[in-house]
Structure 1
Amino acid sequence: MNAVVFACMDADTLGGVQQVTHTVAQGLALRGHEVHVIGLHQAPEPFRYVERPLYERHVVQGRPLGEGVRWVARGRVARLLASIGPGYAVLTSPGAVSWLADLLPPRLRAIGQYHGSYERARGTTHLASVRRDYGALDQAVFLSPEDARRFAEEALLPNAAHLPNPLRAWPDRTSPLDVPRVLGVGRLAPVKRFDRLITAFARAGRTRGHWELHLIGDGPELTRLRAHASSLGIGDRVVFRGRVPAARMGQEFLDAAILGLSSEHEGLPPAVAEAASYGMPSVAFDVSGGVRSLVLDGTTGTLVPPADVETFTAALSALMADPARRGRLGAAARARAAALRPENVLDRWETLFAHIRR
């Protein structure tokens, strides 16, 4: 088996990129690959995604990567990479590509991932970074066929492919969808726009006072979001759960009926995929090809124009009022999510490795 190296700017923060990295790393290690996960700097509050990792974990340094320590960090990474056998290096972000691509020895074939959407990249410096750096790699990997096509066309990439994020596991039970609870899952950060989800829930729940909104995650928006819920008169029905260990997340999906995705931007959101695997429909803003690949409007959930809180409210209210429809959409969501079963996505990773070798 080959060595596989995953390199992140920060490998242990609570976030989607990190969850996917550790999930794939563990899966490939279980298949016999020599796997390493490198974080260029230490997370302020490390989150443990895998209880018993079968892969090697490396943190290059404890402090953020300012210019004063850039060359020290690069030297440490170069020495680490020199100790690893032939295989593949997966650089998980434009920052990781910029920092590390030129340090890779020839025996490590370079794969550049982008975990965001084309829409996200176009509105930031990411598109220029992908255009500048990813074409020289052995493979550039995006989250959906639509994203891969648009990057190939707009960033002129000859090596674009798509490979979705895997689920952490495939559950053997599904939610009965009868607990009157809406879930929001993610870091309490401005980009997630949980204020919009709280507003929509407040409006949708005016005639359904027995429903609750549970927000799972922590972050800098906590105080503001609490105040927002109180100002809308639903402070007692919005429950801020904080961090929930990865091993307990399955029960959270079993104990809820609808997933709300209110973000400004997403790639292929793990929360929507996990909810779908438990037979739960989502109401989501239409912000990326990855979201559109999971939420088929009227089939596996409801897709809403970006930032349209009024339409989001109506969609959420309709699902809260209709358990039969929740069941139909949830069953279709689970069937669609089967493509993201860990074994299916790991097969695709190994097919990608074989393609690069040829």
Structure 2
Amino acid sequence: MDADTLGGIQQVTHTLAQGLAERGHEVHVLGLQRSRSPFTYVDRPLYHRHVIEADRRLRKLLVAIGPGYAIMTSPSVVIKLSGLLPAGFRPIGQYHGSYDHARGCWHLGSIRKHYPKLDQAVFLSEDDAWRFSEHALLPNTWTLPNPLAGWPERMSTLDSPRVLGVGRLEGVKRFDRLISAFARSGAPWPWQLHLIGDGAERERLRAHAAREGVDDRVVFRGLLPAAQLPAEYLNAAILGLTSEHEGLPIVLLEAGAHGVPSVAFDVSGGVRSAGPVLVPPGDVDTFAAELARLVSSVDERRRLGAAARARAEAFRLDHVLDRWERLFAHIRR
């Protein structure tokens, strides 16, 4: 719906658009509402970008673009474009969440109603695709993971005493749990928790860090340009992810590509596919224990970091683009 706000779906959309354009595809990214805080993902895009809020103008643009594949990134977009796609477009519906998240909100009912009519329903992991196929009775599931925008040549040495949290400072990300886990881990000075991102929860999280007694060791870094994030991973020893729900978080893949081990709540097949140390959802004490284990052993961090980088290979952009092109060929047949 909003193609230019800071968020995982938007990042994936622009990464895929640039990658497909580099392979010679004509690519258009359409935002169906205007962003209040636009974020730049690609400095020199080779694809076309549009913001079209009126249905009449949207249909006119689609007719002008001509036949192709319409990749709709959420149930809301599928609903919005229902009846607006001109003849010749092959509709593909993505879902960037997990089956468990869809089941807990209106998404599952919408996917059951609208996605069977599409050429393909695309999910982020084999586990989630299977569960949608079995429990939402979808006959057209396909698995396509999120891609990494780039592949770093350097890996973190994992010597820096820093735990990293990356994402919007919003309620669903539950950075309060990460702060609590860091406090309970007993990580000695000079270990710090660095939070990269901004949002409505920032001041509440500052107060929470003070209550947990770690306000002097939780550093709020704010929103950083995408180009600066590789340096942050290189200066990190551990990544923590404590979200209530996730699809396939790019931060897990980016950390893994830099050889940084992660600890995450086991909230989706996508999270499991990225290979972090898994903790039962919401179990802050166990999360703290895993942080403490990694804080205390650089050898364990290096072992898990090497495994994370090896696993991240599957999510390199070229590999994911190959899979998208195989999907296009499958639909054409």
Question: When the two structures are superposed, what TM-score results if normalisation uses the length of structure 1?
Answer: 0.92
Residues of 2 paired with 1:142 and 1:357: CA distance?
Answer: 20
Is residue 198 of structure 1 aligned with residue 179 of structure 2? yes
Alignment correspondent of 1:59: 51
* AA matched with 1:334: R
Asked whether the 8 Å contact 1:101–1:110 carries over to 2, the reply is: no
The residue number in structure 1 matching 2:157 is: 176
**Residue 142 of structure 1 contacts residue 160 of structure 1 at CA under 8 Å; is this kept in 2?**
yes
Partner of 2:28: 36
Are 1:326 and 2:301 counterparts?
Answer: yes
Residues 187 and 295 in structure 2, CA contact (< 8 A), matched pair in contact too:
no
Correspondence for 2:288? 313
Q: How does 1:90-169 map to 2 (within 5 A)?
A: 90-169=71-150
1:352 to 315, 327, 331: 327
Residue equivalent to 1:46: 38
Compared CA separation, residues 282 and 207, structure 1 to 2 (3 A): closer
Tell me how far apart the structure 2 counterparts of residues 267 and 90 of structure 1 sit (CA, whole Å): 17
- Paired residue for 2:9, among 7, 17, 33? 17
Counterpart code for 2:60 = R
Q: Which residue identity lines up with residue 303 of structure 2 in the other structure?
A: R
Q: Does 1:86 align with 2:67?
A: yes
Q: Give the aligned residue type for 2:141.
A: A
Give structure 1 stretches of 5+ with no counterpart.
1-8, 62-72, 296-300
Of the three residues 215, 220, 227, the one matched with 2:207 is: 227
Residues 22, 49 of structure 1: 8 Å contact kept: yes
Pairing 1:75–2:56 present: yes
Q: Helix, strand or coil: the match of 1:213?
A: strand
**C-alpha separation in 2, matches of 1:326 and 1:16:** 26
User: Structure 1 pair 236/77, CA: closer, same or farther in 2 (3 Å)?
Assistant: same
Q: Which amino acid in the other structure matches residue 179 of structure 2? A: I
Match of 1:26?
18
Distance across 2 between alignment mates of 1:207 and 1:125:
41
Aligned equivalents of 1:135, 1:147: Cα separation in 2: 16
Q: Deviations over 1:46-67 (max 9, x none)?
A: 1111111111111124xxxxxx
Q: Which residue, 223, 233, 238 being the options, matches 2:218?
A: 238
1:207 Cα deviation after fit: 4.7
Q: Secondary structure at the match of 1:41?
A: coil
Name the counterpart of 1:66: none
Number of residues of Structure 1 aligned to a counterpart in Structure 2 = 333
Q: Does 1:216 align with 2:225?
A: no
Return the alpha-carbon distance in structure 2 between the equivalents of residues 353 and 207 of structure 1.
49
In the alignment, what sits opposite 1:298?
Answer: none
Give the conservation status (yes or no) of the 8 Å contact 2:187–2:292.
no
**Shift of residue 78, structure 1, vs aligned partner:** 0.6
Distance apart, 1:106 and its partner CA? 2.0
CA distance in 1, matches of 2:40, 2:307: 31
Q: 1:329 to 1:79 in 2, by over 3 A?
A: same
Following TM superposition, by how much is the alpha carbon of 1:85 offset from its aligned partner in structure 2, in angstroms? 2.2
TM-score, scaled to structure 2: 0.99
> After superposition, what is the alpha-carbon deviation per residue over 1:232-270, rounded to whole angstroms, capped at 9, x for unaligned?
221121111111111111111001010100000000010
Cα displacement string for residues 25-80 of structure 1 (whole angstroms, at most 9, x for unaligned residues): 0000111111011111111111111111111111124xxxxxxxxxxx21121111
SS of match in other structure, 1:274? helix
Supply the distance in 2 between the matched residues of 1:132 and 1:76 (Cα, whole angstroms).
26
